[in-house]
Amino acid sequence: MKRYIALLRGINVSGKNKIAMSELKTGFVEMGYTEVFTHLNSGNVIFSSDIDDTAILVNTIKMMIKNKFELDIPVFIILQEELEDILNNAPDWWGDDNKDIYDNLIFMFPPLSYNEFYNKVGNPKEEYEKVYNYKNAVFWSFNRKDYQKTNWWSKTASSNIRDKITIRTANTARKIVGI
């Protein structure tokens, strides 16, 4: 049995793609996943399964969401131990207690590579944002008051890349991995 984290992209945002977490949890349990719990209202589901293939997990979860909620939602699956490895390799500047800084972790949906992602969003503005790539994730930080001055803020929300990534804050990433 392996421990997984499913990150659903774009649910319960500005009143769109509404899914009650209790109903989402029920859907996971009905598919036979165990030790299921959700975190926040933004599509973070932690669960256990004996299925080793993340592509199969992604497809079955997407199908359940389509059937149960009539939504076509991008789903990113990561092993809990892989997310722990990513967080253990965070740069020193990411995720500290400075409340003025917004620390994000960008997850790239396969087969999106960092180079392809970077080519779509371009160079970060070094005076406003810091980035560091590790495996299939990008650590991204910027000052909250300067977010509109960053290059990546609007680009990560643009239509040509947004369905290929999902973003979580440092606090959320740490909470869902359990470290």
Buried b / exposed e over 59-71, threshold 16 CB at 10 Å, is ebbbebbeeebeb
74 and 23 in a common domain: yes
Give which of 17, 3, 15, 47 is closest to 163, Cα–Cα: 17
Which domain-ending residue is among 35, 59, 81? Answer: 81
On whether both 74 and 95 belong to a single domain, the answer is: no
Confidence grade of residue 15 (pLDDT, cut at 50, 70, 90): confident
Contact of 69 with 19, CB cutoff 8 Å: yes
Report, as an integer, the average pLDDT of 37-55: 95
Percent pLDDT > 70 in the chain is 99
Say yes or no to pLDDT of 37 above 80: yes
pTM: 0.94
Residue where a domain stops, chosen among 53, 81, 109: 81
Same domain assignment for residues 75 and 118: no
The secondary element (H helix, E strand) that includes residue 120 is helix 114-121
Mean pLDDT of the chain: 94
Reported as type and span, the H/E element at residue 54 is helix 54-69
Q: Are residues 168 and 95 in the same domain?
A: yes
What residue has token string 């992604």? 58
Domain count, the chain: 2
Same domain membership, residue 95 and residue 76: no
* Domain CATH code at residue 102: 3.30.70.1260
CATH number at residue 64: 3.30.70.1280
Tell me, yes or no, whether 75 and 154 share the same domain: no
Domain region containing 57: 2-81
The answer on 92 and 153 residing in a single domain is: yes
The predicted pLDDT at position 124 comes to 94
| Structure confidence at residue 12 (pLDDT) | 84
Task: Please write the tens of the pLDDT for every residue from 107-130.
Answer: 999 999 999 999 999 999 999 999
Query: Per residue in 141-175, pLDDT tens?
Result: 999 999 999 999 988 887 788 889 999 999 999 99
Same structural domain, 58 and 103: no
Same-domain pairing of 111 and 168: yes
* Domain end call among 81, 96, 125: 81
Contact status, residue 35 vs residue 48, Cβ threshold 8 Å: yes
**How would residue 92 be classed by pLDDT, with cut points 50, 70 and 90?**
very high
Pair 170, 98 in one domain: yes
The string of pLDDT tens digits covering residues 48-59 is: 999 999 999 999
Residue with tokens 């960092």: 114
Judgement on whether residues 58 and 113 belong to the same structural domain of the protein: no
Do 69 and 110 share a structural domain? no
